[in-house]
Amino acid sequence: MERSVEAAAARLRAARRVTVLTGAGVSAASGIPTFRGEAGLWRSFRAEDLATPEAFERDPITVWEWYDWRRRAIAAARPNAAHETIASWSRSFDEFTLVTQNVDGLHELAGTAGIVRFHGSIWTLRCASSCGARPEGWEDRTAPLAEIPPRCPDCGGLARPGVVWFGEAIPVTALEAAWRAADCDVCVVAGTSSLVMPAASLADAARDRGAWTLEVNPEATRATSRVDCAIAGRAEDVLPEIDRAIRSGQRGSGRSERQ
Ligand code: BJW
Ligand code: ZN
């Protein structure tokens, strides 16, 4: 069996249609905390306690304080080598789709083409009571926010973050685009715990349709035993390493493959 970085580079070199799914781990090196694990706790709340319509209904101020804290961290962050590599891949394959669960906008900042934002954007606000004046919401990049909770400029009611919370549907256009992108030659899943559905099923769908699947994550996840190749490492190290191997055709560094 080929070593993993080499195997990934060989598959990508031969690929015409490439789909990448990213999660919070891809932004970890930019200083943005992931959701799960110790780093994911904010004032002892878990994401599951705050990222729900029920939490917002019960306590919009606490939910907005969490988002304000994250918006401030994200505003100060820059794309890292993982974002940059994915951005360069987005310009070099015949067909490329990035499906990101991240709401931070760092893939956009890195210049990635073909982004499907699965869970929305932390920089978009929407009217919480859907007054209908701006159904798509509006952009607000102020960090810290001028007031908590922010208000809808049209009806004066509560504004909410333009993101997808637990129990809410993924935007139809994003879902359709992601499922179309599951028809690919190579599907790379990087920096996600692969716990949150339906994003977590994208690699399974791609594999079912004949794609070669790769996971990049320092920890084992639910996806690890299901992909064709799992590379144990950080996205900001491994993705550039694969990229160098694609470009040079040289041998990779011989990272261990989990399966
Ligand atoms: C590194 C690294 C480095 C660290 N390099 N890696 C089927 C079965 C069971 C449950 C469900 C199901 N279908 C739906 C559900 C319910 C629910 C769900 O999945 N629950 C599970 C927890 C069980 N899903 C939903 O509710 C979804 N909606 C839905 O399906 O609706 C159906 C519907 C249809 C029609 C009408 C109505 C409804 C919506 C899910 C929304 C998730 N939202 C959040 C918040 C977004 C806004 C915000 O950011 O605040 O999305 S929750 C949070 O989790 C966020 C993330 O995008 C998402 C995934 O997290 P991610 O990115 O994987 O991060 P972590 O922290 O979990 O993992 C980081 C990883 O990085 C780790 O593995 C590290 O090891 C790794 N790492 N450093 C590489 N340097
Ligand atoms: Zn309104």
Instruction: Please give the average pLDDT of every successive group of 10 residues along the chain, which has 259 residues.
Output: 82 98 97 85 84 97 97 98 98 97 98 97 97 96 97 97 98 98 98 98 98 97 97 98 90 46
Residue 3: its pLDDT value, please? 67
CA of 26 to the centre of ligand 2 (A): 34
pLDDT for residue 258:
52
Active site residue 83: no
> Which residues lie with the beta carbon below 6 Å from any ligand 1 atom?
23-25, 28-29, 34-36, 40, 47, 51, 101, 103, 119, 163-169, 190-193, 195-198, 217-219, 221, 234-236
- Give me the residue label for tokens 């304000």: 68
The pLDDT of residue 44 is: 76
Sheet holding 212-216, edge to edge: 115-117, 95-100, 17-22, 186-190, 212-216, 229-231
Q: Quick one: which H or E segment has residue 116?
A: strand 115-117
Tell me how far the alpha carbon of residue 159 lies from the centroid of ligand 2, in angstroms. Answer: 7
105: alpha, beta or left? (left if phi > 0; alpha if psi -120 to 50): left
Residue 1: predicted pLDDT: 31
Instruction: Provide the strand spans (E) within 167-209.
Output: 186-190
Pocket test for ligand 1, best of 35, 80, 85, 126 (most atoms within 8 A of CB): 35
- Out of 34, 65, 124, mutate this one to test ligand 1's pocket (max ligand atoms within 8 Å of CB): namely 34
Cis upstream peptide for 161 (omega within 30°): no
